[in-house]
A and B are shown apart, each in its own frame.
Chain A
């Protein structure tokens, strides 16, 4: 297979785009897709201060590197969850990456916050992943607001977005369908949220990470129960193989013609948010979810296992 641009031997074949590229031309293709994704949805400009959530996976690191190459003002944020084995490995990857490329990094330590995930898991009476997700979102939002970042960026790619959209559609979840997308406006005290890799597949990001020599973290979290979207991703791989280009069409069609309709339908019953009385974080309750998790941890001293009452 020859590179479509320069006729050298191709190293990446992209059936979805009916094409293949050599290393240099692929990197150019990747850059253009990111730029197009930013411009098309007006995600941010060179005046924005962008906080990039860095998990240590290939998507978030690729996003960070590409945005900095494009001259955007980026700072990484890593949440150290204090999970033995996986957290130190992920943090090490992120720290070495930022050091190597001279990028700003903020690390928030959940151990120091009294929110180490193993403790949360030991003392909460529900699956830890939902609490863990809530804690991560809290610190992303809070750091963005406290440190005056104007945008919060995550490394979600087209496959992540498609799987989520498909799942929301199967349930006709109007609330989720009304605000899914690569661009969520600042609202109720939350920072603006963007997903600049929305035009790129997981495969494309993986090739980018490889070609750019990004060392990344793939030791799974010990609490991961096999994520819920894996099956949908498989279905879409089959569909895409039969009908190349379908994924991007489906997603773009949703953004242009689907989401506005759901957004109108959902407008009537918006919830009012006010500041958490403890920490000021926007919430629809008096005390926010993370402050309630802190309370639960305080009320159950270490070693007090067994039955717990959820308030």
Chain B
């Protein structure tokens, strides 16, 4: 997928903080956070152990070593039941 930067004339986007969006399940929380380089770092930031959640981008599963790009939309589903 190509990202076309929507630049407003005169504005320097390079200085804007790069973020990612995370949808957290099952709580159904939507959060925006600064981009981390890898899936593992995103999970660490959120205090989630890698073997307790699945991470999905564009309908596909990601392992913790995968790179995260600015503007990525991740679905993180915590899978440890309380039962």
Contacts and interface: CB of A to CB of B under 8 A. Distances in A.
B50 A207 contact: no
Interface of A is mostly: helix
A227 B83 contact: yes
A265 B47 CA distance: 44
Interface residues of A, number: 33
Interface centre among A1, A16, A23 (most CB of B within 10 A): A1
Interface residues of B, number: 21
A206 B65 contact: no
Contact of B63 (A10, A16, A237): A10
A59 B63 CA distance: 21
A78 interface: no
Nearest to A59: B81
B56 interface: yes
Contacts of B64: 13
A230 B82 contact: yes
A218 B82 CA distance: 10
B63 A206 contact: no
B58 to A, nearest CB: 12
B60 A240 contact: no
Interface of B is mostly: loop
B62 interface: yes
B82 A159 contact: no
A23 B54 CA distance: 13
A77 interface: no
B50 A13 contact: yes
B48 to A, nearest CB: 11
Interface string A40-64: 0000000000000000011100000
B56 A227 contact: no
Contact of B80 (A13, A207, A211, A233): A233
Contact of A201 (B51, B54, B63): B51
A241 B81 CA distance: 18
B26 interface: yes
A241 B51 CA distance: 9
Contact of B54 (A59, A210, A237): A210
A172 interface: no
A29 interface: no
B49 interface: yes
B18 to A, nearest CB: 24
A241 B65 contact: no
A160 interface: yes
A253 B82 CA distance: 25
Contacts of B26: 218-219
Contacts of B30: none
A116 interface: no
Contacts of A13: 50, 63-65
Interface of A: 1, 10-13, 15-16, 20, 23, 57-59, 159-160, 201-203, 206-207, 210-211, 218-220, 224, 226-227, 229-230, 233, 237, 240-241
12 contacts: A1-B63, A10-B63, A13-B63, A13-B64, A15-B50, A57-B81, A202-B79, A203-B51, A206-B77, A207-B61, A210-B56, A218-B25
